[in-house]
Amino acid sequence: MKVRVLGCSGAIAKDCRTTSFLIDSDVLVDAGTGVGDLTLDEMRGIDHVFLTHSHLDHIAGLPLMVDAVASKRSSPLQIHALPGTIAALRAHVFNDVIWPDFTRIPSPQAPLVSFHEFQIGQTLTVQGKQFEVLPAVHTVPAVGFSVSAGGRCWVFSGDTERNPALWQRVNQLDVAMLVIETAFSNREKDLAKRSLHLSPQVLAEQLDLIDTRKRFPIYITHTKPAETGQIMNEIQMFDQTVPAPLEQGQNVSHDIRWLYAGQEFAI
């Protein structure tokens, strides 16, 4: 299974694209502005989109992508999301005001888009891959995902704040790689808490919930462009980068890295 990072920023700027990951060539996890880097043929090859939540930075590319390949598709693009996320898309995006209602175009019997609800804890098999819906703690209904193709898992936290249920499940999974958000620096930790995002200080507390026997690389996503350097510097203050053997009373070190658009991973 291949994971291609299309976008992983918390906002836009030059060379900063918002959240979207291409799994192999046929499934998107979130559909932020990074989708715009795909060719038309690559967009046409996507049959499923899994959304973590309804915020604009995670869905901005979706309506434009559907429009871009509308004449080239012979079946609906299947969008998988929580009921609350689907309700938000119907009410605020595909509503014939902001954007056409592609669930009825060109006809209700043969639409360009179809919505499919999932629930936290559910596992869906799509295109030979297993998508487990993980809990997230955010200002709107939200989830993360564990994705595998019969082997180890790629885990994405989605947008979240303190999330004990996530770590409980991570400790049960065979994780190859974890992608976790850290949207704000410590100087804005109060704003992070109010908006239900992580700051480096809280990230450190959360990573302490990982079973000390677990070792996998951790990639930081969703940093605000103006704060990325500050955030990564603050993370490095508690992270030794290269894991070392534990001694009694010693803190766990983690292999924490910065995620950037254009990276590709084989899981």
76-114 confidence digits (pLDDT tens): 999 999 999 999 999 999 999 999 999 999 999 999 999
**How much is the pLDDT for 239?**
63
State the pLDDT at residue 253: 64
pLDDT tens per residue, range 106-146: 999 999 999 999 999 999 999 999 999 999 999 999 999 99
Q: Could you read off the pLDDT of 20-52 as tens digits, one per residue?
A: 999 999 999 999 999 999 999 999 999 999 999
* pLDDT at 246 (0 to 100): 35
Q: What's the pLDDT score for residue 212? A: 87
Residue type, 163: N
Is the alpha carbon torsion for 61, 141, 29, 49 positive or negative?
negative
pLDDT in tens, 147-181: 999 999 999 999 999 999 999 999 999 999 999 99
Give per-residue pLDDT as tens, 231-265.
999 998 876 443 333 333 334 567 899 899 999 99
* Averaged pLDDT for residues 207-212: 92
Write out the two tokens for 33. 């502005």
Residue 89 φ/ψ, nearest 5 degrees: -65, -40
Closest CA to 116 of 51, 171, 39, 69: 51
- Extended strands (E) in 58-107: 77-81, 106-107
2-266 has which CATH code? Answer: 3.60.15.10
pLDDT of residue 250: 38
